[in-house]
DNA sequence: CAGTTATATAACTTGATGGATATCTAATGG
DNA sequence: CCATTAGATATCCATCAAGTTATATAACTG
């Protein structure tokens, strides 16, 4: 599973969003996600494998944290498009100004 | 199919990348993609349905163009993470400076 | 008009994905 | 220790996505 597919799944995006705030134990993510505990565990494994999250064992709990560097490839792919729609927006703005 | 899934597929990303340069007829995309013509046609339909590309009929050909505004939701999702890994990089830089 | 070219649609196959339940492991608390 | 809690792994199932071949549609071309 590559980065793009990892991020395509809504529950996984939700997990990442939650971890953006702070490190969380798996159980907390289970509560947040309305799918089964093994389901969440599976998503967490995938996220680990793609490098998007890291884990830290603390007693019986596993604390998951965001590993945002793994999003670099997505960012890199998107970057050239950003410029693109920036141009569009700029054009629209110019148009609106002219209209006034 | 939502935006994230649309972009998760490598052939579709390739199509978008090609259309970033310029408008192209479907056939040109078929040549570039090493999958069958109907395969490409199917991807183009999905990309149309998610608003990522637009078409223009010119005689027997369909000219596809990029519709970059449709990437806004992806951009919006990614944005808060960008700040995040900026912080990390900054922290690393500070660390390296301290080490020296 | 007949044949060819460009593209879309239909039907089908296959593999991967996401979910569930059941079970295993390891740590905690009494 | 034993029961409980936290989480991972195993297995199974249904769905879906992506590819293929075959066929339909429509526009050019001689």
* Token duo for residue B57: 């009929």
User: Domain count of chain B?
Assistant: 1
Domain that holds residue B13: 3-99
Please report, for the domain that includes residue A26, its CATH number.
1.10.10.10
Q: Smallest CA–C1' separation from A12: which nucleotide?
A: C18
pTM above 0.85, yes or no: yes
Q: Is B53:B67 a contact under the CB 8 Å cutoff? A: yes
Tens of pLDDT, residue by residue over B17-32, are 999 999 999 999 999 9
The residue of B1, B8, B75 whose CB has the most chain A CBs within 10 angstroms, and thus the best one to mutate to test that interface, is: B8
A54 touches strand D (CB under 7 A): no
- Half-sphere exposure (CA, 13 Å, Cβ side) for A8? 15
Tens of pLDDT, residue by residue over B77-94, are 999 998 887 665 566 555
């Amino acid at each position: 599973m590559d980065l793009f597919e990892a991020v395509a799944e809504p529950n996984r995006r939700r997990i990442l969003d939650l971890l953006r705030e702070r490190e969380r134990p798996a159980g907390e993510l289970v509560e947040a996600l309305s799918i089964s505990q093994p389901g969440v565990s599976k998503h967490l494994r995938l996220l680990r494998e793609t490098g998007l999250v890291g884990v830290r064992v603390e007693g019986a709990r596993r604390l998951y944290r965001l590993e945002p560097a793994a999003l670099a490839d997505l960012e890199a792919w998107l970057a050239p498009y950003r410029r693109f729609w920036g141009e569009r927006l700029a054009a629209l703005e110019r148009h609106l100004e002219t209209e006034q």
